[in-house]
Structure formats: C-alpha cells, structure tokens
Amino acid sequence: MVPDDARRHVARERPNPRLTTMGALTPDVQQIRLDPDPLEPYALSQGFRVGDLVIVSGQAAIDEQGHIVGAGDFDAQAEQTFRNLARVLEAGGSSLERIVKVTIFLTDMAHFEKIVELRRRWFTPPYPADTIVEVSSLALPELEIEIEALATVG
C-alpha cells in the first residue's frame, strides 16, 4: 500500500489537465473538467475527485455540444447518459468498473426493466449499490433519465 504522502507527491509530479485543485485549503479536492463541458452553461461541475473518491454530477442525454440526444427515445437517451458517465469518470481517474454507488432518476418507472438490462451491460459484478427513483421531471423537459455516481480511483 502506498502512503498518502507518496500518492500526493506522485499526483503533483504528473498533473492531470482534466482536474483542477480547489485551493490551498483543500489540496485533496479536485474539480473534474471536460472540454467542451456541456454542463458549464448551467453553473454545474461535472464532478470532483476527493482523495481516492470520484463524485459525479447527474449525467443525462446531453452531447458534448450541449444538445439533447434522443428526445422521445429512452433507449438513445440511456446510451448517451451511460457514455457521458464513463467520460466523466475517466476524466476523474476512474471508470465504470470502479463505481460503488449510482442513483438513477427516471421520469417513467416503466423503463425499470431496461435499466436492469443496461446495468448488466455497462457495469460488471459486483454491481454497484443502486437507488432508482421516478421523478416528475428532470432539469430539461425532454430528458427521461439522469445518473449520478460515486466511484473509487483505479
């Protein structure tokens, strides 16, 4: 096991351009940045890396240019949402395989069986802890699914 001081030293030697340190008072907290960042217009961070934990903001069916993908098509939206989740995790030094907890928001719980199939396709055993919630709407009216996650660094 590598001591914490050694890990911090290695991280400083090879900075990740996708991570921005939050300041001298919080050296272990780094903002995850994407370029382009489709969430920037909404004053949101994609996520944060806090030590060996990656916290990802809710991801939805919004492409890199900020356009909604698959309006009216749950399957297309789910695909884009999982791709976005993978992209942010990678930028934070993690991956889908390192997720320990997800929260999935659906505007229609009739898609529950599809979510089970998607979990089997995108995640690997042991599957992450999960909460699935039906909501009346998401941030934009066309969105049908949103996923937030907690993961460890690989």
User: Angle CA(147)–CA(101)–CA(39) in degrees, nearest 5?
Assistant: 30
What digits encode the pLDDT tens for the residues 13-60? 345 656 666 555 466 899 999 988 888 888 889 999 999 999 999 999
Q: How confident is the model at residue 2 (pLDDT cuts 50, 70, 90)?
A: very low
The two beta strands, 19-21 and 47-50, are: unpaired
**Distance, CA of 27 to chain centre:** 21
According to DSSP, the β-strands at 99-106 and 53-59 are unpaired
**What CATH number does the domain located at 4-152 have?**
3.30.1330.40
**Which among 85, 62, 97, 90 is positioned nearest to 149, based on CA atoms?**
85
DSSP state of 111: G
Kindly report, residue by residue over 86-143, the tens digit of the pLDDT: 999 999 999 999 999 999 999 999 999 999 999 999 999 999 999 999 999 999 999 9
